[in-house]
Amino acid sequence: MPSWNDTEAARRPLVLLPSAQQGPLRAVAKRVGVALLLLFAVVAVVYADRGGYRDTGDGRLSLLDAFYYATVTVSTTGYGDITPVGDTARLVNIVFITPVRVLFLIVLVGTTLEVLAERTREDWRKSRWRARVRDHIVVAGYGTKGRSAIKTLLSTGVDRGSIVVVDPDPRVVAEAAEAGFVSIAGDATRSSVLKQAAVQRAREIVVASARDDTAVLITLTARQLNPHAGIQASVRESENVPLLRQSGADHVVTSSEAAGRLLGMSTSQPSVSEVIEDLLDQGSGLDLVSREVRPDEVGGPLSQVREPALAVVRDGRTLPFDHPRCTVLEPGDRLIVARSSPRPRGAPAEREGADGASAASEQ
């Protein structure tokens, strides 16, 4: 197998489908155990009927001779110095030792057969996956940002099988495959690598690269291959946001400045910072979700919605709750509302105010 230090090998994308892996030492030990079990079975049968065999040396068949006969027989060496002469011994050779010999050979060449079968199976699985995959989500980058994005996607109900990870580091790609994701080792700035991820049929593309210049190239390449997919990108510096948008990104998140804002807010307004962090952790505590307006809500103001509503999405625009157009909800609107999800076991409970409002709201 070519080394990843080789330039040509590094250019060639490696597709890994999630599967259960067995360690090489365990596989070898299992085959050796089966081979020894077959060998001892032949020794026991031969020694039990040792009177039916003839040794050209001394005429008697000892336990050592039984081991010797079993070894040269199952390995198809067959020197002929020990031969079955009794009817029972010959019948045992026909109905038992011969099948054991065949099985023993299969065990010996099992590694080669398994490699060939595994390659055939993997090629078939990859071809079948490429033919069937569509409307999936491609995540370019499996670092901290990529893992967090995938965690949030899973918490919102996205199927694990509909996520494809692309990363240039084979070790990171192997971790993603072990986590159950279809993974591709390769440079996501190259169109050949993104084509391996079937990005031309993807529904969403998440660009979570560690470098801003790489994120721009990935976005350009992905938008060229798929003009209709939604592209969500992340950058470290806000000055690169226009570049990402011009490259085709639909939404751009500035990671370093967002972290800085949270740090400043946690210093001046720690309670507000806790709420924002809770909102960012999808699936526990407070969550922001998008839903369609219900028929009984159409025509009324946003303030009469039962759930706390923060914004209305209308005609592709997001209107804050105090916008004049939010006074009358229209069919087709989407509402951004806050919901409370069950907290994971062990999570700290909300702090109760002096008037006990927190406890009363939960009852």
Amino acid letter, 144: T
Higher pLDDT, 293 or 118: 293
Following DSSP, what letter does each residue of 143-208 receive, concatenated?
Answer: SHHHHHHHHHHHHTT--GGGEEEEES-HHHHHHHHHTT-EEEES-TTSHHHHHHTTGGG-SEEEE-
Say if residue 3's pLDDT is above 80: no
Task: Give SS3 for 353.
Answer: coil
Residue 33: the pLDDT is 82
Residue 233: the pLDDT is 92
The pLDDT tens digits of the residues spanning 268-279 come to 777 777 777 777
Mean pLDDT of 303-331: 86
Owner of token pair 């740090």: 263
Within a 13 Å sphere around the CA of 346, how many CA atoms are in the beta-carbon half?
0
Share of the chain above pLDDT 70, in %: 80
Say if residue 353's pLDDT is above 50: no
Quickly state the pLDDT bin for 194 (edges 50, 70, 90).
Answer: very high
Say if residue 116's pLDDT is above 70: no
Mean pLDDT of 174-189: 91
Residue 112: the pLDDT is 62
Residue 202: the pLDDT is 94
Residue 249: the pLDDT is 93
The pLDDT tens digits of the residues spanning 83-99 come to 888 888 888 888 888 88
For 2, 128, 197, 244, 251, the CA distances from 226, given in Å and listed in that order, are 31, 21, 12, 16, 16
Quickly state the pLDDT bin for 2 (edges 50, 70, 90).
Answer: very low
Spatial distance between the Cα atoms of 168 and 159, rounded to a whole number of angstroms: 24
Considering the chain, what is the average pLDDT of its residues? 80
Q: What are phi and psi of 283, to 5 degrees?
A: 100, -5
- Minimum mean pLDDT range among 186-190, 220-224, 343-347: 343-347
Spatial distance between the Cα atoms of 172 and 260, rounded to a whole number of angstroms: 28
The pLDDT tens digits of the residues spanning 221-276 come to 999 999 999 999 998 888 889 999 999 999 998 877 677 776 777 777 777 777 77
Residue 220: the pLDDT is 95
Residue 354: the pLDDT is 35
